[in-house]
């Protein structure tokens, strides 16, 4: 049954791919986004280009409001216009390195914005929420693969991860205090890839903070080489190892989470990892992308980046068991789809 879904941050990378899957599943979608991490509409009242293309991909329409979650009254106005069933909360500043440099901006935006959203939802009686969390809440992993029983908030290495941990705790406390709340915490690992159409993909403002969009911009000629932050980690090739997940698999995780939240026996706040369970090093990703684009990707080894850890890999058994969800797209497809997007859109949405 189609639901009315409000998606915060829905014009961004993960957001736009998630909206595609929601529309395909016959949900009604309202997007709010301040477009800090997304290309803005070319005309004042138009849709951001990513959402225009979402409509083209799906043949369906959505509703968009440009606003910041820091603007509480604007949020109230949106909730007063629609009978929302469930909120997918994706809106956040999200770069690990930048969060180390600008902690106040991250705490103000990510935590205050979330508090505003939760307060307004409480006031209007919308108490179903899917939260975009992160594997960074596990800090330096005490064991691998990290499952949902792994301690969180211990040894978190950057302010971005701290904001996700604090928001999780707020939501858990809220669900204990008010039994009407139903919250799914989706702990993302590393989203990469693009929609197979090549119409939407990752288009970071400024210098990319994440590895794969940086590699793809090197491949298209926008940047000279990839900086590899450290090759002296205790990993097989010395470079950082991450669990990369195709963004379409991640988007589908939100769609199944909606079904989970509306099961009669679901209550409280429950966390699920969304990853592949496979570790891929920085150099392995560079090599895989070289294969996908048919050219060598130049790179330079530089010093470690503040806030990074050596290896993070997920156990996703719980999501497979309880959400009937499993990532199916592998490394080659991640790179091929990213390259298709970059090749067709050498300057992103510009």
For 141-181, the pLDDT digits (tens) are: 999 999 999 999 999 989 999 999 999 999 999 999 999 99
Burial 258-287 (b: 16+ CB within 10 A, else e): bebbeeeeeeebbbbbbbbbbbbbbbbbbb
Whether pLDDT at 211 is above 70: yes
The answer to whether the beta carbons of residues 51 and 31 sit under 8 Å apart is yes
Whether pLDDT at 95 is above 90: no
Q: Structure tokens of 36? A: 């800090």
Q: Structure tokens of 259? A: 């079904």
Whether pLDDT at 305 is above 90: no
Taking the C-alpha atoms of residue 135 and residue 139, their distance in angstroms, rounded to an integer, is 8
Q: What is the pLDDT of residue 237?
A: 98
Kindly state the average pLDDT of the residues 207-216: 94
The answer to whether the beta carbons of residues 170 and 107 sit under 8 Å apart is no
pLDDT tens track for 246-286: 999 999 999 999 999 999 999 999 999 999 999 999 999 99
CB-hemisphere CA count at 13 Å for 175?
Answer: 20
Q: What is the pLDDT of residue 306?
A: 81
| Annotated active-site residue in 106, 160, 244, 299 | 160
Kindly state the average pLDDT of the residues 295-318: 94
Grade residue 44 by pLDDT with cuts at 50, 70 and 90. Answer: low
Which single residue is written with the structure tokens 């690990």? 96
Average pLDDT, the chain: 96
Whether pLDDT at 42 is above 90: no
Q: What is the pLDDT of residue 110?
A: 98
Which CATH superfamily groups domain 4-344? Answer: NAD(P)-binding Rossmann-like Domain (3.40.50.720)
C-alpha torsion angle, residues 274, 278, 281, 285 (rounded to 10):
-80
Catalytic site includes residue 160: yes
State the DSSP string of 158-204: SHHHHHHHHHHHHHHHHHHH-TT-EEEEEEE-EEE---TTSSS----
State the DSSP string of 264-300: TT--EEEEEEES-S--EEHHHHHHHHHHHHTS---EE
pLDDT tens track for 239-248: 999 999 999 9
Q: Give every CB contact of residue 163 below 8 A, 6+ residues apart in sequence.
A: 92, 99, 106, 107, 110, 111
Any idea where the domains of the chain sit in the sequence?
4-344
Grade residue 236 by pLDDT with cuts at 50, 70 and 90. Answer: very high
Grade residue 345 by pLDDT with cuts at 50, 70 and 90. Answer: very high
Q: What is the pLDDT of residue 174?
A: 98
More confident of the two residues 205 and 109: 109
CB-hemisphere CA count at 13 Å for 88?
Answer: 34
More confident of the two residues 95 and 266: 266
Q: What is the pLDDT of residue 309?
A: 87
Q: What does each C-alpha distance from 5 to 45, 60, 72, 130, 284 come to in angstroms? A: 21, 14, 19, 10, 38
């Amino acid at each position: 049954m189609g639901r009315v879904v409000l998606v915060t941050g829905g014009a961004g990378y993960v957001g736009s791919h998630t909206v595609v899957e929601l529309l395909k599943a016959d949900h009604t979608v309202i997007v709010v986004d301040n477009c800090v991490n997304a290309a803005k509409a070319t005309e004042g009242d138009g849709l951001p280009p990513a959402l225009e293309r979402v409509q083209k991909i799906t043949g369906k329409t959505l509703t968009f409001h440009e606003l910041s979650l820091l603007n509480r009254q604007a949020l109230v106005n949106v909730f007063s216009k629609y009978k929302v069933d469930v909120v997918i909360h994706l809106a956040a500043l999200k770069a690990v390195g930048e969060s180390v440099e600008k902690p106040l901006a991250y705490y103000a935006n990510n935590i205050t914005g979330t508090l505003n959203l939760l307060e307004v939802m409480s006031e209007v009686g919308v108490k179903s929420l899917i939260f975009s969390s992160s594997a960074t809440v596990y800090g330096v992993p005490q064991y691998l693969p990290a499952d949902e029983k792994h301690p969180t908030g211990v040894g978190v290495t950057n302010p971005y991860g701290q904001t996700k941990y604090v928001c999780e705790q707020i939501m858990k406390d809220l669900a204990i205090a008010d039994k009407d709340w139903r919250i799914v915490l989706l702990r993302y690992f590393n989203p990469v890839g693009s929609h197979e159409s090549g119409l939407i993909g990752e288009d970071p403002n400024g210098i990319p903070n994440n590895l794969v969009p940086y590699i793809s911009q090197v491949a298209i000629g926008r940047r000279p080489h990839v900086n590899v932050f450290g090759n002296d980690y205790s990993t097989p090739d010395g470079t950082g190892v991450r669990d990369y997940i195709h963004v379409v698999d991640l988007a589908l995780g939100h769609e199944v989470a909606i079904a989970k939240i509306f099961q009669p026996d679901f209550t409280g706040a429950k966390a699920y990892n969304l990853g592949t369970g496979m570790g891929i090093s920085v150099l392995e990703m560079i090599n895989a992308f070289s294969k996908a684009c048919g050219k060598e990707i130049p790179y330079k080894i530089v010093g470690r980046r503040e806030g990074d850890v050596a290896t993070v890999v997920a156990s996703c058994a719980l999501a497979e068991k309880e959400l009937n969800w499993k990532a199916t797209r592998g490394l080659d497809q991640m790179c091929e789809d990213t390259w298709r997007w970059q090749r067709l859109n050498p300057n992103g949405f510009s």
